[in-house]
Chain A
Amino acid sequence: MSVFFLYPALLFGLLAASLPILIHLLNRRKLKRIQFPAVRFILLSQKRISRSYRLRHWILLALRTLAVVFLALLLANPIFQIGAGLFAGSGPVSLVVLLDNSLSMTWSGDGNGFKQAKDAARLLISALNDGDRAALIPTNIDGKEPFRLKGQKDVLLKELEGIEIADGTADLPVALSKAYELLVEPAGQKEIRLITDMGLTGWDQFSVAALKQVDPSIALKVIRIGRKQQPLNGTIKTIRLASQGVGVNLPTQIEATVANFGDNEIKDLLVQLSIDGQNREQKLATVPAKGETSVKFQARVSQAGAHAGQVTLKKEGLAGNAALHFTLDAQDKLKILVVDGDPQTSLVQSETFFLSRALNPAGERDSSLFLPTVIVPDGLNSATLEGYQVVMLCNVAVLSEGFATKLQNFLRQGGGVLIFGGDKFQPESYSQRLPQILPAELREKKLGPEASGEKIGKFDIDHPALQNLSEDTLQESIKSARVWGYTRAAAPGKAALISLANGDPLLIEQKVGAGKLMLFTTSADRDWNDLPVKTVYLPLVQSLAQYLAGGKRGVLDAGIPVGTAKELSLPPAYVGKSLRVTKPDKQSTEVAIRGEKDRAQATIEVNDRAGIYRLAFPTGAEKDSGTPQIYAANPPFLESRLDEISARELQAKLSPIRAEVISVDALKDGGSRTDLALPLLALLIVTLLIEGWLAQRF
């Protein structure tokens, strides 16, 4: 039961209710003075009639004030409404029904919240009278046709049937802005009804300032889909790789974090991992109330390339998104040619001993992503570099002309080269054979006693080649290393990835064609530094190898939240072409590829469903090794949280829009509306008549 006004702005007329009081006060100030002998009789008279006189006086004042109030209310045209607001005979209505189709509606209303919401919308549409117009806007607009007000109920009901639950969070600012845009047209009565579960996540980021269009005079009625029971409420928060990379036939550790939003512990929760549609492993987990639990799986993939994975929660009565999609990019072993410039009969003293073990610590064929092949410089001329992703030259004294040419071609085709210094390393030869592609100008060697070695001063942790060193322990480890021998290099204007405390560069990069050349100015073994015996050595070598091989592959990608855009960086050859995106529901969309700087860019915005999106690239272009073939989109984590915003908070958020929260049950109970203009007019006339009559009598 409520009263609202068609022209609330005219309620300012209520201020005029103070006029009779002001007139009364002004009259009191404009007194006529008379000298009179019988004042005591006047006093006596006043005393005698004092009570009734004052009463009459106040009655008159009240009647006059009431008359003004009635007039102001009459002009504002009040409508009396019983129930939640079906419309009954008060002129044509322009109604916008906003239907919350965010994912959380799946679990609201004890499991059938969206059905309840649709029933409520159906009820509102059915209650429209001839001349009324309405529009139906879902809160998750996924590029539907432009919305407009229409009077055909059957069309509206058909539209309603077509609205489905989305996998994202309600986009309330967009939906509300659309509603206000539609209601800009003049209409007798303007109404907005938002049917929602009042999920906190959707309202958290809401601000009236974000609305493109708003009209505070149009009241907003929020029809709340509540729930009677408090269900178990949890979801998968994150998924990540717990091991280094994803290699073919290599054991891969995958860790899923399960969150519990509820106040009750979730016991015996079955957490299942599947890859490429096949169930790989399942575990039972217990998640504490308002807490998190991590579940670890181990899996192997037998083929290189992209794989679709999914972690699923299985528990009866569990509310919240139960499936998290992810992708795995499994890589074949990276073949690395390691050239030992200082081979020794004792392996330990060999130049490449530490390096080859950093690349394959177990020394077994199927235990590492990296497959190093160690040769001596004599074999360089006959060696073919095809089939290798990375070449590492360790303390190789000189480069023959033939090999240098091979090396340059290898680089231009996308290969990676890492050159280590050492006592045999002759800078002049490198400068001569690799002109203009060396990252720095090589100068003299600098060698001192081990005890007075330089510490490492700076390293660029944000560089992708050093991304494996993000942990604090590794950073501490690299800082503790000492370098007492290195080849001085000058690279004006170029920042080194790692530099010594004295400022001399230790690791410098140069891009050559599609490939990368890196120069490590010290040795790969312990002859000139103690890095090989530091913890950081293995991840550093692996990280550099990964980077030089064309970026990090063998990764797990947890995907993007539904509703956000996926940005792709592609080789320049793709510019002007388009790629095809196949959504989880098998619908395909073409996405144009545009040029940006020296790369091609594609922005995929159709990520409105949770699941795996598959990409088909145009033929005739060179494929980039780092380009994904598939990616995952998942509902926003917090959309699974069933917490509601309170009515008061909601009203505060919506201020200055007047918002009223009513339950969906109240809507079902129906209601009626009465235009109070006529009764008010009658009251006004009666009040004026009584006032006139009393004024004459008093």
Chain B
Amino acid sequence: MPEGNKNYFDPKVLAGIANLSLRARYVVEGLMSGVHRSRAKGFSVEFEEHREYSPGDEIRRIDWKALGKFDRYFIKEYEDETNLRAYLLLDSSASMNYASDGITKFDYGCTLTASLAYLILRQQDAAGVVTFSDRIEAFIPPRAKRDYLIQILHALENRGPGGDTDVGKILDEIAGQIRRRGLVVLVSDLLDEPAEIVKGLRQFRFKGNDVIVFHVLDQAELDLPFDGNILFEDLEAADLRVIADPRSIRTTYRAVVQEFITEMRKQCLDNSIDYQLISTTTPLDQALASYLSWRG
């Protein structure tokens, strides 16, 4: 439990905590205090695959036979039998690297993803992470091991935002790699074609996955609070720039953004996808509550 009176769900406070692991822990522990911890629902020792040793792996899990054969350290991976396999998809495109006040959408997304992973692993469910821009940047398959969080956090921390967004294409690609049903959590600003995004999300639904979309937007993206004549330069497309007087277009802009959100929400609803709009000023417990309400 965090000490003092700090509200550790406040994104601004979280932004002051450099360590993502700590951030996730604060969020989840704070959220789960008083909540009955559910028991793990399944256990399995079914071998799944070998993977190269990485620091932090237990020495006892090294496959010595494989060492003999390949002269390299491999860890034998076993698939836990759990009721839930969660894929946490984090948009790491350049557009996520925006912060009007304090925390960037990407930092917010990372914290949210880490918190979810922590929460899922803590409940002995399997959690994996995929970061992507217009291509997959990192793919950490779901595991139900508690110490797996380190790898997930490592993947998140080593990836800064960059590249274009192509959510629809990436979702298609990830959907192709998921063999077993589970939960797909998409954390993105969804600054792409809504139809493409929904088409990608629908792929997960076809395969029987549950899908939760966290639509992360900065408050400035929602309100356009600027003044004066401004040259707006797009974070992703260098040639996309426009001069505008926000005061004169603010009302229309807000309507346009709301239309986009409404459309996304509707499309998600039509496809039985949970949709949650989150501003980077939204406390993280509210975001996690949405997951917990799904988890029951």
Interface of A toward B, CB cutoff 8 Å: 27-28, 30-46, 48-49, 53, 56-57, 698
Nearest CB of A to B168, in Å: 15
B221 touches A38 (CB 8 A): yes
Residues of B within 8 A of A37 (CB): 95-96, 98, 105, 189, 191, 218, 221, 234-236
Residues 204-225 of B, flagged 1 when their CB comes within 8 A of A and 0 if not, give 0000000000000010110010
Name A56's closest neighbour in chain B (CB-CB). B248
Other-chain contact of A40, B218, B226, B240 (Cβ < 8 Å): B240
13 A-B residue pairs with Cβ-Cβ distance under 8 Å, sorted by A, are A28-B243, A31-B243, A32-B230, A32-B231, A34-B230, A35-B233, A37-B221, A38-B191, A39-B234, A42-B224, A42-B249, A43-B242, A57-B248
B232 touches A36 (CB 8 A): yes
Residues of B within 8 A of A42 (CB): 224, 232, 242, 244, 249, 253
Nearest CB of A to B78, in Å: 42
Given A46-B242, A46-B244, A698-B248 in contact, is the A34-B233 Cβ separation under 8 Å? yes
Residues of A within 8 A of B244 (CB): 42, 45-46
Nearest CB of A to B97, in Å: 8
Whether, in the assembled complex, B256 has its beta carbon less than 8 Å from a beta carbon of chain A, the answer is yes
Distance between Cα atoms of A44 and B252 in the complex (Å)? 9
Residues of A within 8 A of B247 (CB): 698
Known A37-B191, A46-B249; further 7 A-B contacts with Cβ < 8 A: A28-B243, A32-B229, A34-B226, A37-B95, A38-B257, A39-B237, A56-B248
Nearest CB of A to B272, in Å: 27
Which of A30, A32, A34, A39 has the most chain B CB atoms inside 10 A of its CB? Answer: A39
Nearest CB of A to B64, in Å: 50
Given A28-B243, A38-B191, A39-B241 in contact, is the A49-B252 Cβ separation under 8 Å? yes
B230 touches A31 (CB 8 A): yes
Nearest CB of A to B189, in Å: 6
Chain A interface SS verdict (over half): helix
Other-chain contact of A31, B224, B231, B260 (Cβ < 8 Å): B231
Given A27-B229, A46-B242 in contact, is the A41-B253 Cβ separation under 8 Å? yes
A45 touches B231 (CB 8 A): no
Whether, in the assembled complex, B55 has its beta carbon less than 8 Å from a beta carbon of chain A, the answer is no
Name A30's closest neighbour in chain B (CB-CB). B229
Which of B189, B220, B232, B243 has the most chain A CB atoms inside 10 A of its CB? Answer: B232
Given A45-B253, A49-B252 in contact, is the A33-B234 Cβ separation under 8 Å? no
Distance between Cα atoms of A581 and B41 in the complex (Å)? 146
A39 touches B240 (CB 8 A): yes
Whether, in the assembled complex, B228 has its beta carbon less than 8 Å from a beta carbon of chain A, the answer is yes
A53 touches B243 (CB 8 A): no
Other-chain contact of B257, A27, A32, A33, A41 (Cβ < 8 Å): A41
A45 touches B191 (CB 8 A): no
Nearest CB of A to B246, in Å: 8
Which of A27, A36, A43, A45 has the most chain B CB atoms inside 10 A of its CB? Answer: A36
Residues of B within 8 A of A28 (CB): 229, 243
Residues of B within 8 A of A36 (CB): 98, 220-221, 232-235
Distance between Cα atoms of A48 and B244 in the complex (Å)? 13
Given A33-B231, A36-B234 in contact, is the A41-B240 Cβ separation under 8 Å? no
Residues of A within 8 A of B257 (CB): 38, 41
Distance between Cα atoms of A39 and B105 in the complex (Å)? 16
Nearest CB of B to A624, in Å: 95
Name A698's closest neighbour in chain B (CB-CB). B248
Interface size on B, residues (CB 8 A): 35
Residues of A within 8 A of B255 (CB): 45
Nearest CB of B to A48, in Å: 6
B252 touches A48 (CB 8 A): yes
A34 touches B249 (CB 8 A): no
Residues of A within 8 A of B224 (CB): 42
A41 touches B98 (CB 8 A): no
Residues 144-166 of B, flagged 1 when their CB comes within 8 A of A and 0 if not, give 00000000000000000000000
Distance between Cα atoms of A123 and B144 in the complex (Å)? 112
Which of B96, B189, B236, B241 has the most chain A CB atoms inside 10 A of its CB? Answer: B241
Given A45-B249, A46-B244, A49-B252 in contact, is the A40-B191 Cβ separation under 8 Å? yes
Distance between Cα atoms of A43 and B237 in the complex (Å)? 13
Distance between Cα atoms of A34 and B221 in the complex (Å)? 12
Residues of B within 8 A of A41 (CB): 221, 253, 256-257, 260
**Which A-B residue pairs are the 4 nearest by beta carbons?**
A37-B95, A39-B234, A45-B253, A45-B252
Name A28's closest neighbour in chain B (CB-CB). B229
Distance between Cα atoms of A34 and B218 in the complex (Å)? 14
Residues of A within 8 A of B260 (CB): 41
Given A30-B229, A32-B228, A38-B257 in contact, is the A49-B191 Cβ separation under 8 Å? no
Residues of A within 8 A of B95 (CB): 37-38
Nearest CB of A to B130, in Å: 21
Residues of A within 8 A of B220 (CB): 36
Which of A28, A30, A32 has the most chain B CB atoms inside 10 A of its CB? Answer: A32
Distance between Cα atoms of A546 and B5 in the complex (Å)? 140
Nearest CB of B to A336, in Å: 109
Distance between Cα atoms of A28 and B229 in the complex (Å)? 7
B240 touches A53 (CB 8 A): no
Name B221's closest neighbour in chain A (CB-CB). A38
Nearest CB of A to B244, in Å: 5
Name A27's closest neighbour in chain B (CB-CB). B229
Distance between Cα atoms of A33 and B231 in the complex (Å)? 5
Distance between Cα atoms of A41 and B235 in the complex (Å)? 13
Residues of B within 8 A of A57 (CB): 248
Distance between Cα atoms of A36 and B234 in the complex (Å)? 5
Residues of A within 8 A of B249 (CB): 42, 45-46, 49, 53
Residues of B within 8 A of A35 (CB): 98, 232-235
Residues 91-116 of B, flagged 1 when their CB comes within 8 A of A and 0 if not, give 00001101000000100000000000
Residues of A within 8 A of B98 (CB): 35-37
B230 touches A39 (CB 8 A): no
Distance between Cα atoms of A41 and B240 in the complex (Å)? 12
Residues of A within 8 A of B237 (CB): 39
B233 touches A44 (CB 8 A): no
Distance between Cα atoms of A48 and B257 in the complex (Å)? 13
Which of B95, B253, B255 has the most chain A CB atoms inside 10 A of its CB? Answer: B253
Name B250's closest neighbour in chain A (CB-CB). A45
Nearest CB of B to A111, in Å: 72
Residues of A within 8 A of B256 (CB): 41, 44-45, 48
Given A48-B256, A56-B248 in contact, is the A39-B233 Cβ separation under 8 Å? yes
Distance between Cα atoms of A32 and B234 in the complex (Å)? 14
Distance between Cα atoms of A656 and B95 in the complex (Å)? 67
Residues of B within 8 A of A40 (CB): 191, 234, 240
Distance between Cα atoms of A439 and B235 in the complex (Å)? 116
B231 touches A34 (CB 8 A): yes
Nearest CB of A to B28, in Å: 28
Nearest CB of B to A697, in Å: 10
Distance between Cα atoms of A543 and B202 in the complex (Å)? 133
Distance between Cα atoms of A46 and B245 in the complex (Å)? 10
Nearest CB of A to B177, in Å: 27
Nearest CB of B to A695, in Å: 10
Nearest CB of B to A462, in Å: 86
Residues of A within 8 A of B240 (CB): 39-40, 43
Name A57's closest neighbour in chain B (CB-CB). B248
Residues 259-289 of B, flagged 1 when their CB comes within 8 A of A and 0 if not, give 0100000000000000000000000000000
Distance between Cα atoms of A35 and B189 in the complex (Å)? 16
Name B246's closest neighbour in chain A (CB-CB). A42
Distance between Cα atoms of A239 and B248 in the complex (Å)? 88
Nearest CB of B to A55, in Å: 11
Distance between Cα atoms of A698 and B228 in the complex (Å)? 13
Residues of A within 8 A of B252 (CB): 45, 48-49
Residues of B within 8 A of A48 (CB): 252, 256
Which of B98, B234, B236, B252 has the most chain A CB atoms inside 10 A of its CB? Answer: B252
Residues of A within 8 A of B229 (CB): 27-28, 30-32
Nearest CB of A to B96, in Å: 8
Distance between Cα atoms of A406 and B233 in the complex (Å)? 124
